[in-house]
Amino acid sequence: MAETVLGGIKRASGWSIFLGVLIVLLGIVALMAPLATGVVAVYILAWSAIFAGGAQIAFAFQAHSGGRIALEVILGLVFIAVGLYILRNPLASLLTLTLMLGILLLGYGIVAIFLAFQMRPSKVWGWVLFEAVVTTLFGVLVIAHWPINSVFLVGTLVGVSIIFRGVTRIMVSQQIRSTASALA
């Protein structure tokens, strides 16, 4: 029984390592075309807003009162309008997204630093801390240099972030695999 569980853990960690390698490769591709990556990020945001707006409107009709239905529909229409605006103004949206990304990276990095210290007995806590510190520094750099080079910054940061997420996945997965092997 234990060998079956440990074998499953080893297989899953092997697939996770493979996924980590694919994530790193995706990050390298993103770094090679930062403008295209930034524009893709803007379009993903736009379509996400449009679909979220449509879902919000569909949800509105699940509400029980007329006033709430109207507010839910208005909220859905706002999401759709923002998505359409982003699609029609991708470069202006990219500037805004750059600033928002800087704020997001800064916030994520700070929270991840606390997470890393809570993981501290684990052997992989250092990798989580490393990713958190790098992400925090990227957030500070984005905010400090906004809007200069915003067109290329989003794509570059997305690419680097993807690479670090892939490397972190690989390292955590290798540690899990190593632990499972030691228990076998």
If pLDDT is split at 50, 70 and 90, which confidence band does 180 have? confident
What integer pLDDT is reported at residue 138 of this predicted model?
86
**Each residue's pLDDT tens digit, 104-137:** 999 999 999 999 999 988 888 899 999 999 999 9
If pLDDT is split at 50, 70 and 90, which confidence band does 64 have? low
Percent of the chain with pLDDT over 90: 54
- 184 pLDDT exceeds 80? no
DSSP codes of every residue in the chain: -HHHHHHHHHHHHHHHHHHHHHHHHHHHHHHH-HHHHHHHHHHHHHHHHHHHHHHHHHHHTTSSSHHHHHHHHHHHHHHHHHHHHHHH-HHHHHHHHHHHHHHHHHHHHHHHHHHHHHTTTSTTHHHHHHHHHHHHHHHHHHHHHTTTTHHHHHHHHHHHHHHHHHHHHHHHHHHHHHHHHHH-
What integer pLDDT is reported at residue 65 of this predicted model?
72
